[in-house]
Amino acid sequence: MMRIALKNPHTWIVMGVDTALIILSFWLSFWLRFETITPDQYTIFINLLAPVLVVKHTAFIYYGMQSGMWRFTGVIDLINLIKASVISFAVIVIGVSFVYYSTFTGGISRTVFVIDTFITVCLIGSFRLLIRFYFTRNIKIGGVWELIKPSRLSGEKTHGGIPALIYGANERGEILLRSLMSPLNPSHYEIAGFVDDSSVYDGVNIHGYPILGGLDKLEDTVSRLNVRELLIASQMDPEMVERINARCKAAGILCRIVPAHLDGFHEKIDATRLRGIQIEDLLSRTPVTIDYTMVADALNGKRVMITGAGGSIGSELARKLAEFSPAAMILVDIGENYLFELGRSLERFDGVNATYHCADITNSAKMERLFEKFRPQFVFHAAAHKHVPMMEMNRDEAIRNNIGGIKVVADLSERFGAERFILISTDKAVNPSNVMGATKRVCELYAQIKAQKSKTAFLTVRFGNVLGSNGSVVPIFLKQIEERGPVTVTDEEVERYFMTIPEAVLLILQAAFMGSQGELFILDMGSPVKIADLARKMIQLAGFVPGKDIEIAYTGLRPGEKLKEELSGVGEVMEPTAHPKINRVAAGLVEADAVETAINRLLLKSASDPDGAYKMMMIWLSSGKAPEEDGAANPSKLILVKGSQTG
């Protein structure tokens, strides 16, 4: 039996509306049965009204009809309404047979109660569905005691599952519940109810699952119901996530969350994405929304190539593209293990047409065969050597792979008629202080000059660090915390921009299909994060006290590293686009022949003199002038012919 919260104004409103509809239904049943209501029949109506109200309200309370939230009304609530109405009919008919037997022969028919039952279901059901339709406009569902007991939204695999609570008695919470209970969902949860700090929801239920109070009652609720996990559905700020996580630890249960940064649309909530609290949940990142229709239309029936497909961005890009079912995906990476793992992760997508190619992007013969065979229409160029200190020790490889690679892939894209070429760049390309950043800036320049004379649309998307990428600070910190420290930070004041991998990929897709020839987009990275603060949050998230349980050690900046990164360089003016998280860069034009000549000299020199090639490249980028073969700048050959951008 459902509990009813008489102190909640919501309950009295529901009971008041139900009372009015029950009276109207009973009156209409008399009118439909007799057409003309005589004084005797009116007397019978008045005498029976109170018992009918008592019986129906009792049945409604039993089936949770007066604690359910109208805006979440669905099939489950209609089933409970029908059960309550049928039980009421049986009780009323039996009661009237004993108490008012003579009325059945003197002026009332059992047909009145049959009609009344039908009208009650129609009136109350229609009213609640109209309220539901007003709020959301869309829903889905999944012995003798099983037949008459109160119904609730349920799936096929909840029996014996993990006892859990859902935090958030709102639209997101309701959709998470439906996702958890879907027969297509592999989750194994036995939902005990909802937790929400708003007193408005006290004593009500969603699809038969009660709201059990707020966080202040969490430990008592967990103990009483033997709950093992709390599932966060609501979007909330990082401080609230930390507070909930701390309360879960105090209560001895796990806390899981649907990542809010993935998509701001309620309809995108998916129980399969539930995971433990991670560091990105504690950073101020607002949810990302993109125009899915535009992306889907652009990819429909298209062949897409991704270079660096096994990397952090490339692999997530492949998984996201698979959701749009392009005609073919040509996935290229030099690492066979990365490709193998990517292939396994794509197995969950039905009908995905993906081929995997272990190839060095500077191998022009191999890449030409791939382009000739598959003729990709969209090329996402994510392949690059990106680890700053490692590339400082291997400058020749950084120049060969990053600059040589884009020359091969971009030239082939143009030659074989690709519609779009999207370069994935980095904030380290801005005023570069290391060989990795410098090579990526040269890649941006090469994309710009290709755009000047090609039918293929060449675009660049630039952004900062992504959380959890291979070699980033997050997995390094996690390993150090696992080993109980120390957690090493280069400098107490060092700052970096961060975004999540799924967030970056969604914005890359949006920018790729909203941009035109030669545009350079910069993703909104939010506010920079101090790495020392990131380390402290990760230590606390693991349940330790920074400086007490695990020390933070400062090691000094490594070769080529900056104290703070930048997203735009000198002469670059950021302009807004139609998307609030994507900016367009208005930059100076570059002289194509001078860039081509400079790149060829760099590639040639790096094979025999990597340090000399690096020096040549830095002089070029800092002065904006083409280098001579000895590395000196040639003032007569300007790279930039309009504007003052240098990097």
**DSSP classification of residue 496:** E
The answer to whether the bond into 486 is cis (omega within 30° of 0) is: yes
CA-nearest of 523, 528, 525 to 461 is: 523
Q: In a 3-state reduction of DSSP, which class is residue 254?
A: strand
Neighbours of 600 (CB within 10 A): 12
CB 475 within 8 Å of CB 509: no
Question: Cβ neighbours of residue 57 under 8 Å, at least 6 residues apart?
Answer: 15, 18, 19, 22, 66
Rounded Cα–Cα distance for residues 445 and 439 (Å): 10
Count of all residues that appear for the chain in the document: 647
Rounded Cα–Cα distance for residues 334 and 311 (Å): 10
H or E segment and range at residue 328: strand 328-333
Q: In a 3-state reduction of DSSP, which class is residue 306?
A: strand
Q: In a 3-state reduction of DSSP, which class is residue 352?
A: coil
Q: Which residues pair with 307 in a beta bridge?
A: 332, 381
Question: Cβ neighbours of residue 92 under 8 Å, at least 6 residues apart?
Answer: 51, 52, 55, 113
Q: Which of the following is catalytic: 56, 407, 428, 581?
A: 428
Q: In a 3-state reduction of DSSP, which class is residue 607?
A: helix
CB 551 within 8 Å of CB 292: no
Neighbours of 240 (CB within 10 A): 15
Rounded Cα–Cα distance for residues 389 and 513 (Å): 34
Angle (CA) 287 292 295, round 5°: 125
Residue type (1 letter), 40: D
Exposure string (b/e) for 297-314, b if CB count within 10 Å is 16 or more? ebbeebbbbbbbbbbbbb
CA count, 13 A, side-chain hemisphere, 71: 12
Look up 428 and say whether it is catalytic: yes
Q: Strand 582-586 to strand 205-206: parallel, antiparallel, or no bridges (unpaired)?
A: unpaired
Rounded Cα–Cα distance for residues 384 and 392 (Å): 14
Exposure string (b/e) for 529-565, b if CB count within 10 Å is 16 or more? bbbbebbbbbbbbeebebeeebebeeeeeeebbbeeb
Question: Cβ neighbours of residue 46 under 8 Å, at least 6 residues apart?
Answer: none
Rounded Cα–Cα distance for residues 376 and 371 (Å): 7
Rounded Cα–Cα distance for residues 183 and 153 (Å): 11
Burial of 358 (0-12, 13-18, 19+ CB in 10 A): middle
Rounded Cα–Cα distance for residues 633 and 630 (Å): 9
* Residues labelled catalytic: 428
